[in-house]
Chain A
């Protein structure tokens, strides 16, 4: 009944429901790519093993560490805001942004390394290798690239939330937007949780 006394109507559950529905479409988007990966790996398992040897497990593990920790700081920023600790929440959001950017910088160096070795889509060096290896690197670039775009969008979204928190329109009474941004960020983390073993841990 509290809506009657508030001038602004907020549908907290509805907004969260909408966000989850959007996340489902994201799961199915990546799901299609995982399906492609699974089929090609089943058909070309030896070539996938050979191609995966070109990826650095260390770099992948560092990026996993970064994203898992950024998920922690994201969750902490929401619980801090809900407890009314606005500055702590802004600090946690800033740390999350830094982790997101660190992930992308790491990815940039990783991709530069591959491109330097001549391993990029349609490169003469890659085309001289077996079909399975061409498919592996194609999927690698598409899937980690699409994931990287999601990390970038997440960073932008968190930056907007941080500025809204500073201005006070995201607050302990209205943290809905920040929570939905957090849901997006965690989903991006979950996708990486699957990408990491599938690309970096085939030995």
Chain B
């Protein structure tokens, strides 16, 4: 039962992450409102990925997990990169 005692972050820490998530939401809405064209899509995906990483790392405790969990998470991410990337090789050169 020792592993159950692992640290998973304090309440204050969680509130800080929540405030960061709200701030990033505000930023993404503002950036989208600026009509930056192609950059707009890139910016909103980057901000969404930062938010998703914060949720994964702190709320889902990935930060405090064993290395196995961290490495394992790369599998779906890599799979998506390959699937979406290769599809766009096809779409982009038609």
Contacts and interface: CB of A to CB of B under 8 A. Distances in A.
Indicate, yes or no, whether A interacts with B: yes
Contact of A203 (B8, B32, B66): B32
Contacts of A74: 59
Interface of B: 1-4, 8-11, 14-15, 17-18, 21-22, 25, 28-29, 32-33, 35, 40-41, 44-45, 47-48, 51-52, 55-56, 58-61, 65-66, 68-69, 72-73, 75-76, 79-80, 83-84, 87-88, 91
A128 interface: no
- Secondary structure call for the B interface: helix
B81 to A, nearest CB: 10
Given A2-B2, A28-B79, A79-B11, A190 B52 contact: yes
Given A38-B88, A39-B91, A76-B11, A194 B48 contact: yes
> Chain A interface residue count: which class?
35 or more
Contacts of A76: 11, 14
A38 B14 contact: no
Query: What are the nearest 7 A-B pairs in CB distance?
Result: A197-B44, A201-B32, A72-B18, A24-B76, A27-B76, A190-B52, A75-B59
A77 B78 CA distance: 32
Given A35-B87, A38-B88, 9 more contacts: A6-B1, A16-B65, A17-B69, A21-B72, A61-B25, A68-B25, A196-B28, A197-B32, A201-B44
Contacts of A189: 55, 59
Nearest to A189: B55
A54 interface: no
A45 to B, nearest CB: 9
Interface in A14-36: 16-17, 20-21, 24, 27-28, 31-32, 34-35
A119 B82 CA distance: 34
B10 A193 contact: no
Contacts of B69: 16-17, 20
A154 to B, nearest CB: 14
B32 A42 contact: no
Contact of A68 (B21, B33, B48, B61): B21
A196 B22 CA distance: 13
A13 interface: yes
Contact of B80 (A28, A187, A197): A28
